[in-house]
Homo-oligomer: A and B are copies of this chain.
């Protein structure tokens, strides 16, 4: 089967986009990706939109059809992909399937969400509606799962509280060099450690913000990619997997089964192993999640990710730079956009367009986490040259 290539990428400014609604954001990201890839809208065969909840946030549904109109891409086939906070990764998987199956020779994937017109409480409640009804009814939200898991992790593996703050400090430092990041400012460890408690032991700086924005990727068969450019990326491995939907049923809350299973699938498909990965974007919605993904993906032994972070292993000049984009922590987390934006960062790293964030990389990985690991998509990309 022919390999699936990515020939263009874009992301909008992430942050509080007061003057734009979801359709404006999607159109901005989509147009920029058409421009970046040199593809004419009329040549787009499938247009996929990763979006969790435009209906809940804005009362607007049917956004993929509206986007086809706004991009002048009619009669391109459209659909919306929702996999909660991993809708973007699910979109990459769906777009990959559309090309690999032969259904489409040119698929534009645009992920986006408009959230900041809602209060943090409202947004948190919309997101919490993805949890199991049995847990949702008790008032459990994703931040509370994160707090409970962080406490358990720190105790079980005798990890210092400071190691979590170091994740936030690193990702904020990377975000400074990302002009599209929501927060382009450094923070120090003290600031993180003294910020207000949200879900003990996690504090404000352990959490990603509420964000508006979109991101986009253009996928096609490798033979078509070669008509457009010499510098493209191939998706060499991709897989997704669920874990127990009821979080409290997990045997060991410090192991995310969806991360482990999707990682296994992606490694197997690509013929790669963790040592081959040069750069990774992990889903740091909460700092603790960066540890869990490092361990689940085999970048660290179980219970030892915090040591690698303390040693600087995952910094931009370390052995395995993680979240060079700034991660969800500083770049922001517009639900449907986030997984796509992870792909945008890895694409830019692999084709050498990451500017001041550039690292030396031929193989990259994205891990996008839905809910509290309820479903996870892992993607491995490689420079074609």
| Complex Cα spacing A52 to B65, Å | 13
User: Do A62 and B129 touch across chains, with their CB atoms under 8 A apart?
Assistant: yes
| Complex Cα spacing A241 to B47, Å | 10
Name the segment of A98-106, A190-198, A201-209 touching the other chain.
Answer: A98-106
Residues from chain B with a CB closer than 8 A to the CB of A94 are 79, 94, 97
8 Å CB interface, A46-97 against B:
47, 52-53, 55-56, 59-62, 64-66, 68-69, 73-84, 90, 93-94, 96-97
User: Do A61 and B129 touch across chains, with their CB atoms under 8 A apart?
Assistant: yes
A151 within 8 A of B: no
| Complex Cα spacing A1 to B64, Å | 29
| Complex Cα spacing A378 to B81, Å | 19
How far, in Å, is A82 (CB) from chain B's closest CB?
4
Residues from chain B with a CB closer than 8 A to the CB of A11 are none
| Complex Cα spacing A324 to B82, Å | 32
Residues from chain B with a CB closer than 8 A to the CB of A244 are 69, 74
A224 within 8 A of B: no
Residues from chain B with a CB closer than 8 A to the CB of A133 are 23, 60, 66
Residues from chain B with a CB closer than 8 A to the CB of A60 are 129, 133
Q: How many copies does the complex hold?
A: 2
User: Do B371 and A65 touch across chains, with their CB atoms under 8 A apart?
Assistant: yes
User: Do B77 and A130 touch across chains, with their CB atoms under 8 A apart?
Assistant: no
| Complex Cα spacing A69 to B131, Å | 12
Contact of A75 with B130 at beta-carbon distance under 8 Å, contacts A96-B101, A100-B103, A103-B93 already known? no
User: Do B129 and A59 touch across chains, with their CB atoms under 8 A apart?
Assistant: yes
Residues from chain B with a CB closer than 8 A to the CB of A97 are 94, 97-98, 101, 103
| Complex Cα spacing A73 to B240, Å | 13
Choice from B47, B102, B374 contacting A100 with Cβ under 8 Å: B102
Q: Residues of A with Cβ closer than 8 Å to B? A: 1, 23, 47, 52-53, 55-56, 59-62, 64-66, 68-69, 73-84, 90, 93-94, 96-103, 126, 129-133, 238-246, 257-258, 261-262, 370-371, 374-375, 377
* Interface pairs (22), CB distance under 8 Å: A1-B102, A55-B126, A55-B129, A56-B61, A61-B84, A61-B126, A62-B130, A62-B245, A65-B130, A65-B245, A65-B374, A66-B133, A68-B375, A74-B243, A74-B257, A75-B242, A77-B240, A80-B83, A99-B101, A100-B100, A101-B101, A103-B238
